[in-house]
Amino acid sequence: MRIVEYDKNLVCSYGSATLEDFSATASAVTAGSFDGVHKGHRIIIARMVGIAKSRSLRSVVVTFEPHPRMVLKGEVSGPLGLLTTLDEKIALLAGEGVDLLFVVRFTPDFAARTSDDFIRNVLVGLLGARSIVVGYDHAFGRDRSGSGKTLAALGLELGFDVEVVDEVMIGDEHFSSTRIRVLLESGKIEEANTFLGSPYMISGTVVDGDKRGREMGFPTVNLKLSDPDKLLPLAGVYLAQTVLNGETFMAMMNVGVRPTVTLKAVKSVEAHILGYSGTLYGCQMRFTLLKFIRDEQKFSSLEELKMQLEKDKKTVELYC
């Protein structure tokens, strides 16, 4: 998958791709924030890729960075709670058979562009759209005025066809990033993963900690999140997984304020990696969350905390 980042001037942050590599190339395109790259998104993307292959077109996903709601301040009350950082989104889309990921740098100036302008000058003019695939509730452009009907009308003029993918359900629930956020904030990680289609990711840089875990025989990596707007799930201990040097390791991850050892009500992320010893400071790491083990709690002593960590470790070892 090739990746190009675009604003009003071309900016290429990934690899050696340039706009000249892609102009005037007939393409099948889909566009959206795709936060979480959940199963509903993947159905839309898979349909677009299928059309591209059947018609010998290039397959293109257009996404936005940062999330549009972070720029349109009136639509956000409090932290947005991103399901995927840009790097996590790239990792997930790389497995969907997409030829080109076109990352639009979303700014107030870009937000002011009309849907007509976006379709004509970006989707068709820059990307050569011959087929555009969107979800049933897709809207874009200034004031979210663009819709499937807008696309269909312009398609007749500009020479592209439009396919609108119907709503997808699990039981009586539809796929949405909002629903997944609610599940994560309730600690329902397995249910959230079902909607996502893959385990929830938490990524960050390993930073120095207070070494209390090491003193108790449970050394941890402390993560500084890659994006401060990343959604953290319900405070508690989770069964997690990570890959180091090509090898998969299980981990017990704590998400929360660590009430036994600090009075600061600041949520943090730390993980004890089973079977690994070594220094990881400064490393970029990605964990996937598989199962909620227990709520975070305050213990009366470090010895009581250590006893609980031993129990948590045995729970994680059952999955190793």
Q: What is the pLDDT of residues 275-293, one digit of tens each?
A: 998 889 999 999 999 999 9
In this structure, are 306 and 249 located in the same domain? yes
Tokens of 10: 């071309």
Structure tokens at 291: 């199962």
Residue 20 pLDDT > 70? no
* Residue 206 sits in the same domain as residue 285: yes
Helix/strand/coil for 184? helix
Q: For residue 48, is pLDDT > 90?
A: yes
Structural domain count of the chain: 2
Paired tokens of 224: 């500084």
Residue 65: which of 144, 140, 7 has the closest Cα?
Answer: 7
CA angle 94, 100, 104 (to 5 degrees): 105
Let me know if residue 187 belongs to a domain: no
Report the Cα 62 to chain-centroid distance in Å. Answer: 15
Return all residues near 181 (Cβ < 8 A) that are at least 6 apart. 81, 83, 231
Q: What is the pLDDT of residue 11?
A: 46
Q: Which of 170, 190, 208 is the last residue of a domain?
A: 170
The confidence band for 47, taking pLDDT boundaries of 50, 70 and 90, is: very high
User: pLDDT tens digits, residue range 134-176?
Assistant: 987 776 656 555 567 778 889 999 999 999 998 877 777 777 8
Q: Is residue 191 part of a domain?
A: no
Residue 85 sits in the same domain as residue 35: yes
- Domain membership of residue 189 (yes or no) is no
Residues 208 and 296 both lie in one domain: yes
**Confidence label for 74 from pLDDT (cuts 50, 70 and 90):** low
Average pLDDT for residues 230-244, to the nearest whole number? 96
Mean of pLDDT values over 114-139: 88
Q: Does one domain contain both 134 and 12?
A: yes
Percent of the chain with pLDDT over 90: 55
For the chain, percent of residues with pLDDT exceeding 70:
86
Residue 73 within any structural domain of the chain: yes
Residues 150 and 232 in one domain: no
Q: Is the peptide bond before 79 cis (omega within 30 degrees of 0)?
A: no
14 inside domain:
yes
C-alpha to C-alpha distance for 315 and 231, rounded to whole angstroms: 25
The Cα–Cα gap between 162 and 131 comes to: 6
126 shares a domain with 29:
yes
The reply to whether 127 falls in a domain is yes
For residue 74, the domain's CATH number is 3.40.50.620
Task: Give pTM, 2 decimals.
Answer: 0.88
Average pLDDT over residues 214-227: 86
Q: Are residues 164 and 205 in the same domain?
A: no
In this structure, is residue 164 part of a structural domain? Answer: yes
CATH number of the domain residue 223 falls in: 2.40.30.30
Q: Give yes or no for residue 259 having a pLDDT over 60.
A: yes
Query: Which of 170, 187, 214 lies at the terminal end of a domain, its last residue?
Result: 170
Q: How much is the mean pLDDT over the chain?
A: 86
User: Of all residues in the chain, what percent are helix, strand and coil, respectively (each to 5)?
Assistant: 30, 30, 40
Kindly state whether residues 212 and 294 are assigned to the same domain.
Answer: yes
Quote the domain boundaries for residue 118. Answer: 2-170
Same structural domain for residues 154 and 213? no
Q: Are residues 155 and 10 in the same domain?
A: yes
Is a pLDDT exceeding 60 seen at residue 132?
A: yes
E strand or H helix at 310: helix 302-317
- Whether 158 is in a domain gets the answer yes
Q: Same domain for 218 and 159? A: no
Tokens for 232, please give them.
Answer: 């953290």
Is a pLDDT exceeding 90 seen at residue 270? yes
